[in-house]
Amino acid sequence: MIDTAAPAPAAEAALIETAGAPVPLPTPAVETPTSAADEAELELAGPDEEGELVEADIEIELPEKLYELRTSPQRMLYAPGVEHRDSFKDTDLVGVPAELQAVVGQEIREVLTDLALTGSESKELVADYRAAVRNADPAPTKAVVHDAIIEKLNSEFGYSATTALKAAQALIARDPRLADIVNKLPDGPKTAQIIATIARGAMRQRSKL
């Protein structure tokens, strides 16, 4: 049940206003799982005999829930590279050896599929992330960005804004790599849009989170 008592200070809580009735909405930090079974890593196992990295050197370890999602019959019939090929191309990768771009790019498209985003939404998410990193504004405080997120969710989801936020948090926490990226997002106007886009995908699969 949502606590309808007086809200905490702005730095600790914010209000989602629906039909004129303010609802205190805490936003706990996303916690990255620490157990070995819940860790997800994309790591390089090492160079081949000639000292060059190859696709086989990449080992991807997924949390149990994410592994089950990707190996489900429904997902096995789906090709992430088709839905999101225009959202993120292998050649978009910077600092990744050319011989590894295909496998790394494919994993990024898999993550976009994990989020249950449409092709246009994933393209929007990638563009907003690049803009957020490139045009990071050092002026806004965490509280200001937090309020912007709440305002954006309230505008897009209305009465379901609280549910959308909780679903987004659960979706982000499911993949520690994604949680790390989100937790490191710079303070800026694009951050609110990124969270709202993730929340859209989260609402589509909230019964499975």
The domain in which residue 161 lies consists of: 119-208
Tell me: do 124 and 162 sit in the same domain.
Answer: yes
Q: Is 1 within the bounds of a domain?
A: no
Tell me: do 105 and 174 sit in the same domain.
Answer: no
How far is the C-alpha of 170 from the C-alpha of 35, rounded, in Å?
17
Least confident interval from 52-61, 145-154, 181-190, 196-205: 52-61
Tell me: do 140 and 200 sit in the same domain.
Answer: yes
Q: Is 201 within the bounds of a domain?
A: yes
Q: Which residue has the tokens 């000639």?
A: 50
How far is the C-alpha of 154 from the C-alpha of 113, rounded, in Å?
25
The whole-number average pLDDT for the span 42-65 is 58
Q: Is 22 within the bounds of a domain?
A: no
Q: Looking at residue 199, what is its pLDDT? A: 97
Tell me: do 126 and 152 sit in the same domain.
Answer: yes
How far is the C-alpha of 44 from the C-alpha of 111, rounded, in Å?
18
Least confident interval from 19-23, 60-64, 67-71: 19-23
Counting the structural domains of the chain, the total is 2
Q: Is 96 within the bounds of a domain?
A: yes
Tell me: do 57 and 43 sit in the same domain.
Answer: yes
- Identify the domain boundary among 88, 114, 140: 114
Indicate whether 30 pLDDT > 80: no
| 3-class secondary structure per residue, the chain | CCCCCCCCCCCCEEEEEECCEEEEEECCCCCCCCCHHHCCEEEECCCCCCCCCCHHHEEEECCHHHHHHHCCHHHHCCCHHHHCCCCCCHHHCCCCCHHHHHHHHHHHHHHHHHCCCCHHHHHHHHHHHHHHHHCCCCCCCHHHHHHHHHHHHHHHHHHHHHHHHHHHHHHHHHCHHHHHHHHCCCCCHHHHHHHHHHHHHHHHCHHHC
Highest mean pLDDT among 61-75, 86-100, 112-126, 175-189: 112-126
Tell me: do 127 and 197 sit in the same domain.
Answer: yes
Tell me: do 110 and 124 sit in the same domain.
Answer: no
Across all residues in the chain, what is the average pLDDT?
Answer: 75
- Identify the domain boundary among 114, 142, 176: 114
Q: Is 6 within the bounds of a domain?
A: no
Q: Is 83 within the bounds of a domain?
A: yes
Q: What are phi and psi of 46, to 5 degrees?
A: 140, 170
Indicate whether 53 pLDDT > 50: no
- Identify the domain boundary among 114, 133, 153: 114
Q: Looking at residue 189, what is its pLDDT? A: 78
- Cβ 147 vs Cβ 192: under 8 Å: no
- Cβ 45 vs Cβ 57: under 8 Å: yes
Tell me: do 123 and 86 sit in the same domain.
Answer: no
Q: Report the residue count for the chain.
A: 209
Q: What's the token pair of residue 74?
A: 């429904």
